[in-house]
A and B are shown apart, each in its own frame.
Chain A
Amino acid sequence: MRACLLPLLATVLAAQADEPAEHVAAAEREPRTRIERTVHELLPSLVKVHGASGLATIGAYATGIVVSEQGHVLTLDQIMIQKGKTRVVLHDGSVHDAQLLPEEPRLGVRLLRIDPQQVQGGLRPLWPPAGDEGAFRTGQFVVSIGNAFRLAEFAEKMSATFGTVVGRANTALRHRLADVQYDGDLILTDACNNPGHQGGGLFTLDGRWIGLNLRLLDSKETNTMLSAAIPTRDLLPYLEQHVLGRTRPETVVERVPAWTGIVLFEQAGRESPPAYVERVVPGSPAAELGLRPDDLIVRIDDWSVRTCREFRDVLARCAAGQVVKLVWKRGTRVLDGELRLGEPPK
């Protein structure tokens, strides 16, 4: 079993069995440790999200984060979320019908909205985040909160897992993760995102909100499972637009496909070979940079180029006029230079 569904971390279960009434006072005792305090303060801002139907492998439940006093709840956009059938269960156990706001397809997140009039005692939004807009660093301790495996029902408290920020997966590596639409950096963590945890929050020890939990990911890069979160700061434009009604002007740039003038040595086969240069078109950007036949292209900006296919994939994301850092190997020397991508010749 390679998934991190195993209890590989000290799982701090904030969830307590529903205590009989006479024991409520004992159950609501004051938090004592740093983590207990953090979890205690955050839980009222996290909600359980229940959908109409899941798939065989994905349950119809998730977690959400209250982001406004007007009833906005942020969660991961997913198949279970359906108009008129999505319900939100607040910390106090009250159940609310959720209205769906437009999703953010690039991030794969969606805002839900519940009627704030129906909420007793008001909502406790986590947003806007503290001044540093959810900054995080590798090796930082984190607490992840969510409704893992739907263990918490009604007013039961959700689960908290502890871990570290394992690292940052940049865009160039992120594209090797399956099932992620999101295109920016990801926070990798070893605080486990079990099913149901998605849409929950990732927090620092002192309770700062730094990320929105994704589903457990498959890494094509390493053939392993990963827990990851979308950095909070990347969620801000979407939240500002739909919660505050502020829009940022979107710049639409027409992209001209990029051209390097490199012709790769490639043979038909099921597996794409390493990106060896077969020839360089005279007068092309690559010729200007001094590339020669038999050079091995190994990287474009941060993107590893291990095969001809990856070379094409990366170039497809670039546009003419863009300047990229190209790294190539000639014999035993590793060279690099800036390549100004051109337009394909007519």
Chain B
Amino acid sequence: MNAARLFACLCLPSLAWAQQPAEDDEFARLEPVLQRALAAAAPFVVTVETFGGTRRTLGADGPADGDGPPLPRPAPKAEPPPDDAPPPVPEDAEPEGERAGRRPRPPMVPEGFRQARGRTSGVVLTRDGWILVSRFALNFDPTTVLVTVPGRGTFHAQRAGEDTSRGIALVKIAADDLPVPTFVPPDEVRVGQWAFALGRTFAADEPTVHMGIVSARSRLFGRALQIDASTSPANYGGAVIDVRGRVLGIAVPLSPSGRNAGVEWYDSGIGFAVTIADIPGLLQRMQQGEVLQRGWLGVHLELAHLGPGAKVAGTPKDGLAARAGLRKGDVILEVDGVPVANGPHLQMLVGARMGGDAIRLVVAKRTGERVEIGPLRLFDAPWSEQAQSNDLPASFPLPEKPEGR
């Protein structure tokens, strides 16, 4: 009996202690952290508005969904510059000549998909006015893009380059001393850390925020973080930030299916955040107006070949591999000194590259000889990352004429 009483005396307090919550108010502690991060990041999250333009379609010049002819726009008349006018800058619509010399910008949204035309978000990249936006914002090929920087006013934005493999685009506004973000170095990012997705679409004076965590680090060939905060056009182009208000990436509509601008994953708990600021070279190329694409080697692989190396099943005749002399039956053994384990490994190695990047291959020819090829400059992928040809799922019609307005 005494033993039992002793047992009770010893154990009951510890049981009672165990009943106490270890951490009672974690939410109450997190709330001010989120508030501080929000305050730190809010200044560089901007609103992007677009005007005009048409829905683009794949492989045709007409409007994508039978909405009548491309929108008319009055030809800008020459006007005498007012006395206080800044030096003349080219009109917002790009001149035809300039346009003709450029590579076409592949559409992000395929035929049949009707995109809402709301505001989207952007992030200030440099003090002197380079703004990262989502390609989603430019899908209509708008004639006018306006960027509103909180507390600084609305600016006309000039379009520069795009990165179709990341779903982002760069625009330039004529402003100085803009608030700029700090980017989190990619190798510091940890799965499970908080990730808050900011946008600035519903009210100009304050950002929107969705809360989540980093779900995975390396997605889409290392280009994106995966997060579970809701992403949708409401925050595409906006900043995904950590608890200190530093930028983990830009929220973009991507999906492995590469279709419909990620619409099937709106608010699904699967979102993507990409960076470009920390990748040497890419930013300069975009500033010069280049449209960056995924690199393309141009080989079909033999699935039955389990390695080592990746066995070529065919080479499309307009591809780089065909031009470099690769033929059916050859086995690619190395890419830039990295031994290729198998076909999927080759896809990972090449998929991470951009068009124009140099690549060196070591190939075991069908004849048995081992040859080094390269350096070669990867071609641009002939398909768009975001729009695959005829493989179209359901469209999401949006009433053009909302009732009750």
Give residues in A with beta carbon < 8 Å to B.
Answer: 1-4, 6-8, 32-35, 137-141, 162-164, 166-170, 173, 175-176, 178-179, 181, 188, 190, 205, 219-225, 265, 267, 269-271, 273-274, 276, 278, 292-294, 296, 298-299, 302, 304, 306, 313, 327, 329-334, 336
Partner of A224, one of B21, B52, B74, B266: B266
The distance in angstroms between the C-alpha atoms of A179 and B196, with both chains bound, is 29
Q: Given contacts A6-B268, A274-B71, is CB(A176)–CB(B35) below 8 Å?
A: no
A294-B119 in contact (CB<8A): no
Which residue of A is nearest B263, CB measured? A2
B119 engages A304 (CB within 8 Å): yes
**CA–CA, A223 to B144, complex, Å?**
22
What residues of chain A lie closer than 8 Å to B199, measured between beta carbons?
167
Q: Which residues of B contact A190 (CB under 8 A)?
A: 210-211, 230
What's the Cα separation between A179 and B402 when bound, in Å?
Answer: 10
- Contact assessment for B265 and A2 in the assembled complex, using a CB-CB cutoff below 8 Å: yes
Interface residue from B88, B203, B264 paired with A167 (Cβ < 8 Å): B203
Measured between C-beta atoms, what is the minimum distance from B111 to chain A in Å?
A: 16
Structural contact, A222 and B21, CB atoms closer than 8 A = no
B121: shortest Cβ distance to chain A, in Å?
Answer: 11
Write the nearest CB–CB distance from B131 to chain A, whole angstroms: 14
Distance from A25 Cβ to chain B, minimum over Cβ atoms (Å): 15
A2 touches B268 (CB 8 A): yes
Contact A167 B209 (CB under 8 A): yes
Q: In the complex, are the beta carbons of B400 and A271 less than 8 A apart?
A: yes
Residue pair A224, B79 in contact (C-beta under 8 Å): no
- Interface window among B8-16, B151-159, B313-321, B349-357: B151-159
Interface string of B14-32 (1 = CB under 8 A from A): 0000000100110110110
**A140 in contact with B146 (CB, 8 Å):** no
Which partner residue on chain A sits nearest B142 by CB separation? A274
Find B89's partner among A32, A169, A179, A332 (CB 8 Å cutoff).
A332
- Is B34's beta carbon under 8 Å from chain A? yes
Bitwise interface map of B from 288 to 311 toward A, beta carbon under 8 Å scored 1, else 0: 000000000000000000000000
> A297 CA to B89 CA in the complex, in Å?
20
- A8-B230, A141-B30 known; A32+B21 contact, CB < 8 A: yes
* Nearest CB of B to A2, in Å: 4
The 8 closest A-B pairs by CB, nearest first: A167-B208, A221-B118, A223-B116, A2-B266, A222-B233, A224-B232, A274-B51, A169-B202
B208 touches A138 (CB 8 A): yes
Could you tell me if B71 and A220 are in contact, using CB atoms closer than 8 angstroms?
Answer: no
Give chain B's interface residue range (CB within 8 Å of chain A): 35 or more
Query: Cβ of A139 and Cβ of B38 under 8 Å apart?
Result: yes
B31, A273: Cβ atoms closer than 8 Å = no
Contact partners of A170 in chain B: CB under 8 A: 202-203
Residue of B nearest to A221 (CB): B118
B91 at the interface (CB under 8 A from A): yes
Q: Is B263 in contact with A167, judged by CB distance below 8 angstroms? A: no
Residues of B within 8 A of A205 (CB): 27-28, 31
- In the complex, the answer to whether A34 meets B154 with C-beta atoms within 8 Å is no
Inter-subunit contact B405/A166 (CB<8 Å): no
Any chain A CB within 8 A of the CB of B204? Answer: yes
Q: Which residues of chain B come closer than 8 Å to A34, judged between CB atoms? A: 24-25, 27-28
The reply to whether B38 and A138 contact each other, CB–CB distance below 8 Å, is yes
CA distance A123 to B318 in the complex (A): 77
Indicate if the CB atoms of B76 and A223 lie closer than 8 Å: no
**A334 engages B154 (CB within 8 Å):** yes
B221 touches A (CB below 8 Å): no
Measured between beta carbons, the chain B residues less than 8 angstroms from A332 are 89-92, 156, 158, 174
- B269:A168 contact, CB within 8 angstroms: no
* A contact residues around B133 at 8 Å (CB): none
In the assembled complex, how far is the CB of residue B363 from the closest CB belonging to chain A, in whole angstroms? 45
A4 to B266, CA, bound (A): 9
Chain B residues whose C-beta falls within 8 Å of the C-beta of A271 in the assembled complex: 67-68, 71, 400
User: What's the least CB distance linking A275 to chain B, in Å?
Assistant: 8
Give a binary string over B117-150; 1 marks a CB under 8 Å from any A CB, 0 the rest. Answer: 1110000000000000000000000011010000
Cross-chain contact B38 with A331 (CB below 8 angstroms): no
Whether B89 contacts A331 by the Cβ 8 Å rule is yes
Q: Closest residue to B403 on the A side, CB-wise?
A: A178
Chain B residues with Cβ under 8 A from A35's Cβ? 27
Contact B267–A8 (Cβ < 8 Å): yes
Q: How far is the CB of B63 from chain A (nearest CB, A)?
A: 9
- With a cutoff of 8 Å between Cβ atoms, the chain A residues found around residue B115 in the complex are 223
Give the one of B74, B90, B115 with max A CB within 10 A.
B74
Complex CA–CA separation, A34 to B25 (angstroms):
6
**How far apart are the CA atoms of A298 and B143 in the complex, in Å?**
13
Q: Which residues, 166 to 210 on B, are CB-close (under 8 Å) to A? A: 174, 196, 199, 201-204, 206-210
Interface string of B82-95 (1 = CB under 8 A from A): 00011011111000
Kindly list chain B residues whose C-beta atoms are within 8 Å of the C-beta of A6. Answer: 267-269
Say whether B368 faces chain A, with CB atoms less than 8 Å apart. Answer: no
Are B85 and A333 interface neighbours, CB within 8 A? Answer: yes
